Amino acid sequence: MDLFAGWCTAEQQAAQRRQGFAHYDGDPAAARIAQLSMRERQEATPLLTEAADRARELGRRSEPWAIAALTDVHLGQIFEWQSRATAMADLLGHATELLTALGYTMVEVTAQDPAHRVAVGAGPPRRHQDIGAEAGTRYWLEVAGLLRWRMSYCPNLAVLHRYTTTCGRRIHCSPSR
């Protein structure tokens, strides 16, 4: 009798646990996962966890394209985004090869960088020394001004990336020879 009572308790606990997953009923992905063997599920778990993490990260982004991409992926319409990713990877690879061949360097710019350091050398005395803490439009305009100032002394310096008000942009500069 104790054995039967244990089975009944286990069945009741399993039914309660199953209720926690009821919202997946009718989900085609859940149905496909249910058809996998235990070994296949164990192999798929890290991949699914990574995909869920990326989806959460993408869902937190504020750019309009991010929500559109996430919606398309949820609907299984990923071809356009895969094509874009492949094209961008190809372009970036080609650009990196060209920059390497031309001897260009990459300078990472963040809001915490002092503007006079970002200007690839010392800027005009005093005028721009304390701008680095600002992260808005004025900061980027000052950095652009400093680069123009520096370019007057180093004609080989070329700025290949336009500034925006977003921190963390990259500036590509040719070496000043």
Least confident interval from 36-40, 113-117, 130-134, 156-160: 130-134
Question: What would the pLDDT profile of 75-97 be if each residue is shown by its tens digit?
Answer: 888 888 888 888 888 888 888 78
What is the helix (H) or strand (E) element at residue 92, kind and residue range? Answer: helix 79-102
User: In Å, what is the CA distance from 97 to each residue of 3, 58, 146?
Assistant: 71, 29, 28
Token pair of 39, please? 């070994």
CA end-to-end span of the chain: 91
